Structure 1
Amino acid sequence: MEELMPEKKKQILLSAMKLFASKGFMQTTMQEVASFCKMSKGSVYQYYSSKDELLLTIFEYQAKLLQDRMQLMERENQLNPRDRLVSKIEIYLHIWNEHPELIKMQMRDNTEHAASQELREFMQKMSKYNLDTLTESLHEIYGEPFTPYALDAATLLSSLIFTYMYMRLFDHVPIEIERLSRYLVSSMDYLAEGLLKYRPEPLLNGSMFDLWNEDQMKMKNLHPLVLVKQLREVVDNAADGSKEGLNKQDILDSILVLEEELLQVRPRKVILLGMLSNLKVIATRTPLYDHLRQSIHSTFGYTQGTLR
């Protein structure tokens, strides 16, 4: 079930996983990844064109492990809904137990620092997949009356799984995975009983995710001129970045040149891409940069490999 990856590509991925977990994504260079693997930097780039692609592949690898094992469990075991939820939780815990770097990377907020809109969208997709997986099981166990609370309960359960596993791996709290999985499902019993008895107003519902996705699509469809004006407002209101090696005035000057060029009848590609390159220094500080980059590439028909 689990797709085979070329050995060297997997070696690079696992090495990068360790480095990103220990040092952080931004602090790790591709040269350090290559040295850790005892490979040349050029050899690493044969498999991964950028550090962003490498980080994305790590999370894709995690998702593939998870989905393959979920499918195998569903196919091979005729379990009742309660035992199926226990098995799902055990799958999450065993994957993190095998690759503790994955949970440590997420605690370090590597995804927030990555300058890749593709990664952000993938993480949003996986977050929804995980919540859907748990919500489905909770609905199966507690029935139709629990439907309004299933997403709230799945969110709480997801947080508990993550927190207990972090304590087990890094605080060395001696908790057996099988016992923890059954304990968490029993905790859901008490939660469900209380929610169904007192009927509080649910905090979350599925339409909130739909609204988030709609907002993302609207952002993608905005003209670059609209986005560059929004970016200018963000930078105008931001604190001075000199301590981080950023020159706020240089950033504003690049935004102004970009805005003026976008007002031309035929904006010049060299100017647009040049200013985008100048602005890449703020890519990790606001998602607007990625939206703007994608909008310019889409509006003017440029390929997107240039500034990944």
Structure 2
Amino acid sequence: MQDKKKLILEAAIRCFARKGFNATSIQEIVDELGMAKGSIYFYFKSKDDLLVSVIDYYGEMLYLEMREHPGETILPPREKFAIQLERQYRFVHQHLDFMKMLLKEPFTGLHPQIQQMIIRLRARSQLWNASHLMAIYGETATLYLADACALVSGMWSQYFEALLFGELVFDGRQLSRFITRRLDDLVNGMLRSEETPLLPPLDLVKLRCLAGVTEEDLTEELRLLAAIKSRIVSCEFSEVLRRDLNEALALLKEMIEMPSAGHRLLARGMLALLKQNGPSDLAETIDRLDGLIGSMEA
């Protein structure tokens, strides 16, 4: 994002948080910046257009908090979920005034892009929940994936509302661990009960489309890694071997996303582990990935 456009968005965020969208004028935003009024109209056609960009900007920042950070790839799935949930809570708490303004302000007749943004954010949230649930509970939870996503989303939203409207401030670490333990209770309870799920299976392809995530967004290395991971998930392994394979996949993902000198030898070791212990039909895919990782450091 261009530096000046980013400055305008951040100034608008501060003004909207203080006075609300409808009560804030473009003049007040330029006064906040100390620039000419015409400068804003070079980047934004109207105040509505500015708000659309502000919400999109906030959504992208929140999405970054939901993504895996460097060093988290090798953490156990349950711990990874709790850490990322804690970051989401911290983000909301840091931007509390603006979040309240978004929920309370009447945006009747506003730009229709807002609706599309909300759809995209909801789809991203569902994908985030689904990927963590599958990582934590494995294929055995597939039948209840949609219900489990709905339940964890419902838990989080209630604490979110308590923070926004009840002015209850929680310890982020304590809250994230509490929700993670309750998630265990819910999912394990459904698995023991063997009840028929209430919600239909999640359409992950449709969710990715709504979230704006496409195959084209992935490098070939990440596509190959995803194919290997998908195949590994469907195989029977001992608990220790499955953990080792998952750690190998996580380390390879981190190396692909942040290549640096010295990773080549470690990558070869991880690939050898996958090739030796994975199904034979993965050998060609692993060799292809090996070649691509090698070329990254050539």
Per the shorter chain, which TM-score range?
0.5 to 0.7
Q: How high is the TM-score relative to the length of structure 1?
A: 0.57
The letter for the 2-side match of 1:130 is S
Within the alignment, does 1:151 sit opposite 2:146 as a pair? Answer: yes
| C-alpha deviation, 1:77, in angstroms | 3.9
Q: Which moved more, 1:121-130 or 1:167-176?
A: 167-176
In the aligned structure 2, how far is the partner of 1:46 from the partner of 1:178?
A: 43
1:191 to 186, 198, 201: 186
Give the one of 81, 90, 93 matched to 1:94.
Answer: 90
1:45 corresponds, among 28, 41, 46, to 41
Q: Deviations over 1:188-224 (max 9, x none)?
A: 111112222331432354249949x89xxxxxxxxxx
Aligned to 1:10: 6
Match of 1:177 among 172, 175, 182: 172
Q: How much identity, in percent, do the aligned residues show?
A: 28
Inter-partner Cα distance in structure 1 for 2:130 and 2:61:
20
- Change beyond 3 A, Cα 1:114–1:150: farther
Q: Which runs of 5+ in 1 are unaligned?
A: 215-308
Whether the 8 Å contact between 1:15 and 1:36 is mirrored in structure 2 is yes
State the partner residue of 1:58: 54
For the structure 1 residues 96 and 191, does the alpha-carbon distance in structure 2 shift closer, same or farther, using more than 3 Å as the test? same
Does structure 2 retain, via aligned residues, the 8 Å contact 1:17–1:101? Answer: no
**Matching residue within 118, 134, 138 for 2:113:** 118
Contact 2:62 2:88 in 1 (8 A): yes
Q: Secondary structure at the match of 1:90?
A: helix
- Kept in 2, the 8 Å contact 1:13–1:58? The answer is yes
Residue 174 (structure 1) shift: 3.7
- Contact 2:163 / 2:169 at 8 angstroms: preserved in 1? yes
Q: Which amino acid aligns with 1:104?
A: K
Moved more, 202-211 or 49-58: 202-211
Paired with 1:155 and 1:109, the residues of 2 have a C-alpha distance of: 26
Q: Which secondary structure does the structure 1 equivalent of 2:110 belong to?
A: coil
Q: Is the 8 A contact 1:93 1:177 kept in 2?
A: yes
**Rounded Cα–Cα distance in structure 2 between residues aligned with 1:42 and 1:93:** 37
Q: Are 1:129 and 2:124 an aligned pair?
A: yes
Q: Is 1:163–2:158 an aligned residue pair?
A: yes
Give the counterpart letter for 1:193 in structure 2. Answer: N
Cα distance in 2 between the residues matched to 1:85 and 1:203? 23
Query: How does 1:133-282 map onto structure 2 within 5 Å?
Result: 133-168=128-163, 171-198=166-193, 199-207=195-203, 210=206
Alignment gaps of 5+ in structure 2: 211-298
User: Structure 1 counterpart of 2:52, which letter?
Assistant: L
CA RMSD of aligned residues (A): 3.2
Change in CA separation of 1:147 and 1:72 when aligned onto 2, cut-off 3 Å: closer
Per-residue deviation, residues 151-189 of structure 1 (Å, max 9, x unmatched): 332233234334324433553424100110111111111
User: In the alignment, is the contact (CA less than 8 A) between 1:24 and 1:108 conserved in 2?
Assistant: no
Alignment coverage as a number of residue pairs: 208
Which residue does the alignment assign to 2:270?
none
Whether the 8 Å CA contact 2:16–2:98 is kept in 1: the answer is no
Residues 128 and 76 of structure 1: CA distance in aligned 2, closer, same or farther (over 3 Å):
same
Question: Structure 2-normalised TM-score?
Answer: 0.58
C-alpha displacement of 1:102: 4.3
**Shift in Å at residue 78 of structure 1?**
1.3
Q: Secondary structure at the match of 2:116?
A: helix
Deviates more, 1:46-55 or 1:157-166: 157-166
Question: CA 1:9–1:210 in 2, change beyond 3 Å: closer, same or farther?
Answer: closer
**Residue 54 of structure 1: CA displacement?**
1.5
